Amino acid sequence: MRQLADIPHPEAKITLFSWNGKYLIKLEKGPFEQTYKVSEMDVTSEAEVRELLDDEFIAAAVLRFTQMRQDLQAAFERHDIY
């Protein structure tokens, strides 16, 4: 796996990789991460992958981090694990 870029953003750490014919977009916030795989056949360049990371995409991913945290907390509570 080859790291192509760290993309600065105040809400999450964003890293772009190339691996096995795919671009991997990895977003991290606290203990959570999301990875999106984009086939190199679906885009013509790394620049096009970066275009996917628009404000709407990032906002949805950040909201998903909140949902992930809530889901994990709910599971802890269901099982009386604190």
Q: Please report, as a single letter, which amino acid is at residue 11.
A: E
Given a contact cutoff of 8 angstroms between Cβ atoms, the answer to whether 33 and 20 are in contact is: no
Q: What percent of the chain has pLDDT over 90?
A: 99
- Burial of 25 (C-beta count, 10 Å sphere; 0-12/13-18/19+): buried
Q: Could you tell me which of 46, 20, 43, 9 has the C-alpha nearest to residue 34?
A: 9
Structure tokens at 56: 């709407």
4-22 pLDDT, tens digit per residue, is 999 999 999 999 999 999 9
45-82 pLDDT, tens digit per residue, is 999 999 999 999 999 999 999 999 999 999 999 999 97
pLDDT of the residue at 82: 77
